[in-house]
Structure 1
């Protein structure tokens, strides 16, 4: 299928569907006990998000590591904190349940009352900057390197802690990175991306590796992940990234 503005979302979703099926064939072991795949159980709102905001090519791709339990795991939207997803992105839709659900991190979809700090900060920052999602998504999109969320087993003294892909060990980590990396290359080519904004050091490392191996002419810019670990001044850090690079031009109402 030839890529144009009209069928880019269809091809994008096809790549993600293939990615989801390939990852489902992998066998994960301890400590990754609960494995959530929102590309399966939250496919309806996710596909609506892609069809709404991924029309046409994108100069900038924000690359984050994987879904958070109170963000994309609930809504199917990368960095998809529930309230801002509903109120700013105007997203909603039916969300089913993962096959093996953690009792402490249940999926309630857009009815979830927990807030994901990183998603609230990320989209909150760009809401203040761009005012409307149409301005933000005109030249940019947001994508997870890995669509799966991993959590440790619920046991006494444990809290079903998140396990990010960089914490996986051995061959399974290599297999996951290879599969996700191949899909990322397809996405970069499809969207004709010029700049990857790597949200976190792990995604920066993966992006640089993939670009070098694929010989793609894409710039990688690092942005600190907007988690609680970033402190209260994350918005100033993000603004500094925009001010000291060529990024700011892509988020202007006049562009």
Structure 2
């Protein structure tokens, strides 16, 4: 019986944690049924290295933006810069961007400026916005909603682990929630309940590797193959067979990351 196929919608394959065995890591992902990976560039000056990984490996696509925790240390991105990058056939999303007041509250002002630039780029390109949100729920909901009312766009709340209120605000805009290894932690029942209340056709899965490895690998380096562990938890949350949840999450991914689906069709 064939392994159900899923996609790791958010990982960081350019991080030095993977330098010594990138081909092997991608091979292990494929063996686990993780047929595609979106690797995320968090500092635009590193975009060439991230793009090179996507170009070197058929299952890998990429996105780029300025991570909110880096917003004060990097030049402010421009809409034109992001739109230009988006012309690459394997560039499939804008970000990650967002707000992080847990670690970097002192740079809230520039984080908001950066976020608005990325929202405009998502509006201009039609590519999904990839959001990192931590300890900034009210500002996050307000800015995302203001931008959407000005001009609709699509978005995924990556590695979602915020409040039920932010989840509802995002879902009400038609956005998606992405389930990471955090949702598989034993003490994350409240988070699993938030996902259970979401429409199953608005949920993605990811690793955020090398971080946040799900059980049974918790505390170790995460990698895309482990998306399967989180997806099994997702199946349990929605009361679905794993194969059915995998099929649903793939449909969700291709609906949001439409450029990946078109690339597959053209290949």
Report the TM range for the smaller structure's normalisation: 0.3 to 0.5
Relative contact order (alpha carbons < 8 A, sep ≥ 6): 1 or 2 greater?
A: 1
TM-score normalised by length of structure 1: 0.35
